[in-house]
Amino acid sequence: MQLSRFSLNVYKHFAEDMEVDGEKPDIGFKQRGYLFLATEKMMPQFEKNMMLQHRNGVDSQLLDIEDLRGLIPELTISDLAGGLYCSESGYLDAYSVMQGYIKYAKHLGAEYIYEEVSDLLIEGQQMKGVRLKNGETCTAPVVVNCGGAWGAQLSEKAGIKFSIVPSPRQIFQFDCEKKLKNYLPLTMDPTGVYFRHEGEQMIAGYSEPIRSDFDFSWRREDFIENVWPPLAHRIPNFERVKIVRGWAGIYDYNTEDHNAIIGQYPKIEGYYVAFGFSGHGMQQAPGVGKGMSELIRKGKYETIDLSPLRPERFAEHQLVIEDAIY
């Protein structure tokens, strides 16, 4: 929550802070809220979640049935008891965020080399740099591996193993015959299916079974079998829809506790990692970048203490369990 709060503030001011030569990046940041729908059985846990969020400065609220109808008039509520809603939450265009950071970093003098890294160069217990796939080497006393789903594989080639697997996730974009009255928050159904507006159309996805694979294909039948039935039940407008397109991406899924692995690897001086986010990397990215910068430059965290997410927590049996992964 601390990471998310920090990152939210960064995204709110991203265009102004990353302005270069009068050009402000447009990251498509829309604060339409997050809404988690709950059955009667789920409500006690949601109340605990809300109290924890309040203690950490998150302005979330429990909604009753009438409140839900106020947000989504078309909602089927017969099997719901309420929901947990945070109006501050939202979504953005991750690619535009990346390009905004790149442009500003270059403005400050950073050099980008667009080549695949094939190997880490380590001598004894000291990081020496990386070897690129084209055979060139880049020497450096500090290397940060933030390779996402590919990061653990690169690390394993150097004999350093992390419990991270590439896990595909699909998103489906569709149009419905009868439009909704309101723009939707990102809404999570008790079934694990989620949906929200994307422009004037809709996108949806679901909690797919974990499978280790670099699979970027999307399957129309997965929408028809796993997503459409819960959608049509929850909002009758979704009974008649047309799939516009779909796409797939890869989670760097941490199989141990579903949270990021951040910090210096204890046995290799100068080797830092930031991966294993399991799907909430963009939500935490600015805070992680800030913390990693402090750790490398000053040897300690100052803004947010990220030490609970240290790589050695697994050997120390100090896991940071995250259950809300979809």
Domain spans in the chain, listed from the N-terminal domain onward:
2-86, 113-163+256-313, 165-254
pLDDT at residue 185, rounded to an integer: 96
Domain topology for 2-86 = D-Amino Acid Oxidase; Chain A, domain 2 (3.30.9)
**pLDDT of res. 174:** 98
What kind and span of H or E run contains 154? helix 151-157
Dihedral sign computed on CA atoms, order 188, 192, 198, 202 = negative
Q: What is the pLDDT at residue 325?
A: 56
Residue 192 and residue 207 in contact, taking contact as beta carbons nearer than 8 Å: yes
Q: Which residues of the chain have pLDDT under 50?
A: none
3-state SS assignment for residue 239: helix
Residue pair 92/13 in contact by the 8 Å Cβ criterion: no
What topology is assigned to 165-254 in CATH? Answer: D-Amino Acid Oxidase; Chain A, domain 2 (3.30.9)
Q: Which residues of 98-132 are buried (b: 16+ CB within 10 A; e: fewer)?
A: eebbeebeeeeeeeeeeeebeebbbeeeebbbbee
CATH of the domain spanning 113-163+256-313, picked from 3.30.365.10, 1.10.357.10, 3.50.50.60, 3.20.20.140: 3.50.50.60
- 2-86 and 165-254: same fold? yes
Q: Report yes or no: 158 and 122 within 8 Å, Cβ to Cβ.
A: yes
Confidence at residue 323, expressed as pLDDT on a 0 to 100 scale: 66
Residue with tokens 């939500």: 283
Residue reference for tokens 């498509």: 28
